[in-house]
């Protein structure tokens, strides 16, 4: 080939790739309209997938498991709240390989947790964990997770206590579980218990996403606590000056607070028009905040 031909070929390839690039950008636009995330999971029926994967079910389960983590991770990164596919994915995974323990721990945590953080489906979390317990009756950790779901998201303290108690019978279980079972049975919900439980998850979980979630919860619990205290101070202020404070600085000036209080991430709390303490509008904690049914 002569050098002229080489140059011609080079130009052709260059031009071609330029065209490919342009086309790709347009195709990306079109594809984003056609593709839906449901497509990630064509086969949602766990029985069907199990049948299709023959003796490789555990292997396929692993693949589905990585998909679960990927799916959830992507959602977190995109700050999306729609976790509709979490259950079908977990469902298929746990049927394919009922012995895959991380599925239950991770799955129940994020299935049950309320909407911005999880799928808000504690009922499904319970179903998943009970399925796990049927296949692995000796796994005390499943009771631990079950107790969590009942305590935090279903607010069913009797069942939470029962689950923790059941788990505590296993000699390998955490020692505190029995005591905590008793405490929840008598007291029900308490900040102290909540704090302890999340702290324990934070200390013991091996899953980074679960750990991060526990940290958030601890931070939120602290914020809840802080807000209550600020509200008490605001009541005191009202008693002294005959009106609700509207700015945090008023509390500081009056000497009730030494300085403006901040949340776990360093953002100052603010006061609402009604003079109630709230999270700063800018704090990331707010994204994970669940508005209590009463407040707006």
Partner 1 sequence: MTRIGTVALNTFREAVRDRVLYNLVFFALVMMAAAILVGQISIGIEQIVIVSLGLSAISIIGLLISVFIGVGLVSKEIDKRTLYALLAKPLRRWEFILGKFAGLVLTLTVNTAAMAAGLFLALFYVKRSLEQADTVVLIAVYFILLKLALVVALAMLFSCFTTPLLAILFTAGLYIAGLFVHEMRGLQGGLIDPMLGRLLRWISYLLPNFENFDVMGAAAHGRVIPGALIAQNTAYAVVYCAIVLAVAMAIFSQRNLK
Binding site residues, partner 1, CB under 8 A: 1, 5, 9, 12-13, 16-17, 19-21, 23-24, 26-27, 30-31, 33-36, 38-40, 42-45, 47-48, 51-52, 77
- Write down the least CB distance from residue 61 to partner 1, Å: 19
- Write down the least CB distance from residue 16 to partner 1, Å: 4
**Integer angstrom CA distances of residue 143 from 48, 139, 147:** 29, 8, 6
Measured from the CB atom, the residue of 19 and 58 that comes closer to partner 1 is 19
Do the Cβ atoms of 252 and 259 come closer than 8 Å? yes
CA 93 – CA 128 distance, rounded (Å): 11
Measured from the CB atom, the residue of 51 and 262 that comes closer to partner 1 is 51
Measured from the CB atom, the residue of 10 and 241 that comes closer to partner 1 is 10
Residue partners of 49: CB distance under 8 A and separation at least 6 = 43, 60, 64, 92, 95, 96
Measured from the CB atom, the residue of 40 and 272 that comes closer to partner 1 is 40
268 bridge partner residues: 262
- Write down the least CB distance from residue 41 to partner 1, Å: 9
Number of other residues whose CB lies within 10 A of the CB of residue 177: 22
- Write down the least CB distance from residue 273 to partner 1, Å: 38
- In this structure, what token pair is assigned to residue 134? 């049927």
Number of other residues whose CB lies within 10 A of the CB of residue 191: 12
Measured from the CB atom, the residue of 14 and 81 that comes closer to partner 1 is 14
Measured from the CB atom, the residue of 30 and 295 that comes closer to partner 1 is 30
CA 45 – CA 286 distance, rounded (Å): 36
- Write down the least CB distance from residue 180 to partner 1, Å: 39
**Integer angstrom CA distances of residue 216 from 10, 105, 154, 191, 287:** 56, 17, 19, 15, 11
- Write down the least CB distance from residue 70 to partner 1, Å: 10
């Amino acid at each position: 080939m002569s050098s002229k031909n080489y140059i011609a070929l080079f130009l052709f390839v260059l031009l071609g790739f330029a065209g490919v690039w342009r086309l790709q950008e347009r195709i990306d636009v079109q594809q984003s309209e056609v593709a839906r995330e449901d497509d990630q999971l064509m086969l949602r029926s766990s029985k069907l997938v199990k049948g299709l994967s023959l003796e490789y079910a555990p292997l396929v389960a692993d693949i589905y498991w990585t998909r679960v983590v990927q799916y959830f991770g992507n959602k977190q990164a995109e700050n999306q709240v729609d976790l509709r596919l979490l259950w079908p994915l977990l469902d298929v995974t746990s049927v394919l390989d009922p012995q895959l323990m991380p599925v239950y721990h991770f799955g129940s945590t994020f299935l049950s947790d309320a909407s911005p953080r999880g799928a808000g489906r504690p009922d499904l979390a319970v179903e998943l964990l009970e399925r796990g317990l049927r296949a692995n009756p000796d796994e005390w950790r499943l009771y631990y997770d079950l107790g969590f779901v009942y305590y935090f998201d279903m607010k069913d303290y009797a069942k939470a206590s029962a689950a923790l108690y059941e788990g505590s019978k296993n000699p390998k279980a955490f020692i505190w579980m029995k005591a905590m079972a008793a405490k929840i049975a008598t007291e029900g919900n308490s900040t102290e218990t909540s704090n302890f439980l999340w702290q324990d998850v934070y200390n013991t979980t091996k899953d980074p996403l679960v750990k991060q979630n526990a940290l958030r919860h601890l931070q939120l619990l602290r914020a809840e606590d802080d807000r209550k205290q600020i509200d008490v101070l605001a009541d005191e202020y009202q008693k002294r000056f005959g009106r609700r404070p509207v700015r945090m600085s008023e509390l500081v000036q009056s000497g009730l607070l030494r300085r403006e209080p901040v949340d776990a991430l360093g953002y100052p709390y603010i006061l609402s028009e009604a003079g109630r303490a709230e999270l700063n509008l800018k704090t990331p904690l707010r994204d994970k905040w669940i508005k209590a049914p009463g407040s707006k």
